Amino acid sequence: MTATGDSTPAWRLQGERYYSLNFHLRGRFGHRVQKVSIDAGFTCPNVDGTVAIGGCTFCDNRSFSPSRRTARRPVLEQIDDGIRRLKLRYRCDHFIGYFQPATNTYADVERLRSVYTEALRDPRIIGLAIGTRPDCVPDDVLDLLSEFGERTYLSVEYGMQTMHDRSLDWMNRGHHHEAMVDAMGRSRGRPFEICAHMILGLPGETPEEMLATARELVRLQVDTVKIHNLYAVKNTELAEQVLRGEVDLIDRDTYVRTLVDILEILPPTMVVERISGDAPPDYFVAPSWCLDKPAVKQAVAGELERRDTWQGRLAN
């Protein structure tokens, strides 16, 4: 991140109130960069029975990954089709291959090497993002990721979700927070960025507990964070719980207030990749407010302006 002599971050000088992924990538590469979703056909250890069955309570990969909503094709075909679609929306010629659905380090090293290498064969792919779980990065996999991090931009995304073990148990995650602490201890200092996913509005978690997870992200020294609300999609246990009235999903006002509280304590050097989440209407159940992403973004901007605050204002 570029800053002036008085340590004011460049994004603040340009009137931004948090350090967005778009700003980060433009600063690194000098132009717009978009992520294109890739499905390498992996599964998860809480799906195949290794640590659990059924997957996470809230998860249907088709709902958040475009590459899982059609029949799986070779990696280069997926990239070509994904770029074609992205170019209908963005003026962009450079892309990050995003291994998005399921656990994309959950295989032997040679298979991983093959699929990552295949994505980089497309000259428009200038880096990789690899979504995974903190309990699925043995040392040989981290060594492989380091090899790729030495030759290209690489972001490794850990689905931390929360630091609270009871919430991880509720979502059928199949591991506790100690797995994230261990993964970070073995990942920190390697030649790739580390991103963590965080969910707000998990059943029973108070705003103070959500802030505790944010402080843990700071302590763990992740480079980037993705934050979104808990939402329900069809064909998941969470959807059934919501429809039976067993789980209440966070409302927009509470979400926005809590999100801004979190932004205030995140260091100004931590990239905020995402501030909300949604799913295609055909898959979506609730809450309806998060389907209108522009309105959510506007509400967050409004709360930041109302408080006259910004990311890092209360950071230690």
pLDDT digits (tens, 9 = 90+) for 232-285: 999 999 999 999 999 999 999 999 999 999 999 999 999 999 999 888 889 999
Domains of the chain: 10-307 (3.30.750.200)
Summarize pLDDT for 201-224 with one digit per residue, the tens.
999 999 999 999 999 999 999 999
Number of H helices, E strands in the chain: 12, 9
Maximum CA extent, the chain: 56
pTM: 0.93
Predicted confidence (pLDDT) at residue 7 exceeds the cutoff of 90:
no
pLDDT in tens, 171-191: 999 999 999 999 999 999 999
User: What are the φ/ψ torsions at residue 36 (nearest 5 degrees)?
Assistant: -115, 125
Report how far residue 170's alpha carbon sits from residue 172's, in angstroms, rounded to the nearest whole number.
Answer: 6
pLDDT at 68 over 60: no
Per-residue confidence band for 67, with pLDDT thresholds at 50, 70 and 90: low
- Enumerate the β-bridge partners of residue 3: 9
What is the pLDDT at residue 5? 46
